[in-house]
Structure 1
Amino acid sequence: MKDSNTTAAKKTTAATASKSKTTTAASKSKTTAASKTTASKSTTPKGTVKAKTSAAEGLRELFVDSLKDIYWAEKALVKALPKMAKNASSQNLIDAINDHLAVTQGQVTRLEQVFASVGEKAAAKKCDAMEGLIKEGEGIMEETEVGAVRDAGIIAASQKIEHYEIATYGTLAAFAKTLGEDEAVSLLTETLNEEKEADITLTEAAYNTINFDATEEEEK
């Protein structure tokens, strides 16, 4: 009788232990699943926020890098314009170049104000595009004789430079607007308008007459 009771007790204990293990395993499974779900939920928004932050930081870096690029370009142009004026023969063209030299010097100072407005130190980074455009202009002056043909070539090179600057300042102003840099937008837009005016001046004050004179020289 005693053995029978002992056996029954052992079976009951084993069943209880088995049930306990099953309950514990199920509990652990639920806990693990819940943990994974929580991790999944927390990762998505964090990942999204991080992506947005990185994108914003990337645009600011691109903006500042582009500022350094055009800062170098304008300073290089300040050195190149006097040489263009010296090689020109048309007084209209010489005046246009000298006027733009004064404007460009002011644009260098304005770019320094843009740097300050966005909390950055003014620094120049070599602009390959401007270097190429200036070299192209120098090549034209070396390959042509003094006169209308050279003047026409100088204007062509100058307008390529103007168009590059117009595109650059337009893009920079758009970047600044996206970044909420209102003061920078105002300063960059002012320079953009000056570049557009310079392009018109080259066309109306010099280009038409010089191109006509260049054609006459070719015919002779």
Structure 2
Amino acid sequence: MAKTELQEKAKKGTDDSKKDDNTPTMSSSKNSVEKKTPLYDFFLSGLKDILYAENKLVDALQEMEQAATTEELKDAFEDHYLLTKKHVSRLKKIFERLGENEESKECKAMDGLIEEAREIIKSTEEGSVTRDVALIIAAQKVEHYEIATYGGLAQIAITLGLDKVADILERTLQEEEETDETLTDIAESHINPEAEKEE
């Protein structure tokens, strides 16, 4: 199977988040918050929430890969797993850039989405394409939550004048959108039609 653009991004050895290693930290005037406002506090809380969510997702994606039937979907989950580890690394860089302690805050939304995925695995037949259909839907629910979160946080970062932080968040947002598109392509190309033939 030919590598997709997303697969190449996921498996390349260097993380483009490393490009930020030599950039100034929050002492830069373009990346500092002179006054901690309620909006900044909300932004920080959102970062803690998505850090928790991404860390939880790392483990869940391995479970979903093992449960998937088709090799194409297994590969997609492996790619998303590798990307998610990069996203965790980027979030850690953001905390460092902000001069804040790296902390997680329980994300009930992600906990619920992961539990739903586990219920799907329990309630569908092992080795069936129908299970793959259900797993794709579960994974896309996760993607849509992440897309909404990263999109919102990127806009708040822009509002706060945190241009470099916004750039990092927008890079992750783009990758989440590409993952969602890949899952749609897999479903539409053959997973859904194959599942329809199952008895």
TM-score, normalised via structure 1 length? 0.73
Q: Please give the alpha-carbon distance, in whole angstroms, between the structure 2 residues aligned to 1:149 and 1:205.
A: 13
Counterpart selection for 1:204 from 155, 180, 185? 185
Are positions 1:92 and 2:72 aligned together?
Answer: yes
Are positions 1:174 and 2:164 aligned together?
Answer: no
Structure with max Cα Rg: 1
Q: Which residue of 1 aligns with 2:175?
A: 194
Q: Which residue of 1 aligns with 2:52?
A: 72
Query: How many Å apart are 1:214 and its aligned residue?
Result: 1.1
Check conservation: 1:177, 1:185, Cα contact below 8 A: yes
Q: Which residue of 2 aligns with 1:37?
A: none
Check conservation: 1:93, 1:206, Cα contact below 8 A: no
Q: Please give the alpha-carbon distance, in whole angstroms, between the structure 1 residues aligned to 2:186 and 2:59.
A: 23
Q: Please give the alpha-carbon distance, in whole angstroms, between the structure 1 residues aligned to 2:191 and 2:129.
A: 6
Which secondary structure state, in structure 2, belongs to the residue aligned with residue 120 of structure 1? coil
Are positions 1:62 and 2:53 aligned together?
Answer: no
Q: Please give the alpha-carbon distance, in whole angstroms, between the structure 2 residues aligned to 1:84 and 1:78.
A: 10
Query: How many Å apart are 1:207 and its aligned residue?
Result: 4.5
Counterpart selection for 2:108 from 128, 135, 157? 128
Q: Which residue of 1 aligns with 2:195?
A: 214
Q: Please give the alpha-carbon distance, in whole angstroms, between the structure 1 residues aligned to 2:187 and 2:124.
A: 18
Query: How many Å apart are 1:182 and its aligned residue?
Result: 1.0
1:143 maps to a residue whose letter is S
1:110 maps to a residue whose letter is R
Q: Please give the alpha-carbon distance, in whole angstroms, between the structure 1 residues aligned to 2:43 and 2:116.
A: 27
2:121 maps to a residue whose letter is M
Q: Which residue of 2 aligns with 1:163?
A: 144
Runs of 4+ residues deviating >2 angstroms: 205-208
Q: Percent same amino acid at aligned positions?
A: 45
Moved more, 205-214 or 134-143: 205-214
2:175 maps to a residue whose letter is E
Q: Please give the alpha-carbon distance, in whole angstroms, between the structure 1 residues aligned to 2:98 and 2:158.
A: 12
Query: How many Å apart are 1:138 and its aligned residue?
Result: 0.4
Unpaired segments ≥5 residues, structure 1: 1-52
Q: Which residue of 1 aligns with 2:129?
A: 148
1:185 maps to a residue whose letter is A
| Superposition RMSD in Å | 1.4
Q: Please give the alpha-carbon distance, in whole angstroms, between the structure 2 residues aligned to 1:216 and 1:169.
A: 38
Query: How many Å apart are 1:184 and its aligned residue?
Result: 0.5
Check conservation: 1:92, 1:206, Cα contact below 8 A: no
Unpaired segments ≥5 residues, structure 2: 1-33
Query: How many Å apart are 1:206 and its aligned residue?
Result: 4.1
Which secondary structure state, in structure 2, belongs to the residue aligned with residue 145 of structure 1? coil
Deviations 1:115-165 (A, max 9, x none): 112221111001000000000000000001021111111000000000000
Q: Please give the alpha-carbon distance, in whole angstroms, between the structure 2 residues aligned to 1:212 and 1:118.
A: 48
Which secondary structure state, in structure 2, belongs to the residue aligned with residue 123 of structure 1? coil
Higher relative contact order (CA 8 A, sep 6+): 2
